[in-house]
Amino acid sequence: MLRASLIPILALAALAGCADTTRATAQAAAEATPKVRCDRETQIGSLMPKKDCGPSLSEEDKQRLAAELRNKATPTGVSAPGK
């Protein structure tokens, strides 16, 4: 009697172990895939929007790009005429 109830319990334990590793590998695969972000932009002079897709940027990348844009927008070493 003990042997008859032990076999199904062991089989269920083996199945539960397999299900847990499947979930862990699925989560790892989802985290490993790069996240893609798509933006729609309408260019000046055109009525057709353009879809631009690329990887999602991290917070550090966003700050670096913002700093680069600020540096390009503010001229350095240029004085006003007459000064």
What is the domain extent for residue 46? 34-71
39 plus 61 within the same structural domain: yes
Check pLDDT > 80 for residue 75.
Answer: no
Looking at the structure of the chain, the number of domains it has is: 2
22 plus 51 within the same structural domain: no
45 in a structural domain: yes
Q: What are the beta bridge partners of residue 42?
A: 49
Report the percentage of the chain scoring pLDDT > 70: 53
24 plus 1 within the same structural domain: yes
**pLDDT of amino acid 64:** 94
**pLDDT of amino acid 63:** 93
- pTM of the full structure: 0.35
41 plus 19 within the same structural domain: no
20 plus 41 within the same structural domain: no
If DSSP codes are grouped into helix, strand and coil, which group holds residue 41? Answer: strand
83 in a structural domain: no
φ, ψ of residue 75 to 5 degrees: the values are -70, 145
Residues with Cβ within 8 Å of 41's Cβ and at least 6 positions away in sequence, in order, are: 49, 50, 52
Question: In this structure, what DSSP letter does residue 72 have?
Answer: H
Check pLDDT > 80 for residue 69.
Answer: yes
**pLDDT digit string, tens, across residues 32-54:** 666 788 888 888 888 899 998 88
**pLDDT of amino acid 22:** 62
29 plus 1 within the same structural domain: yes
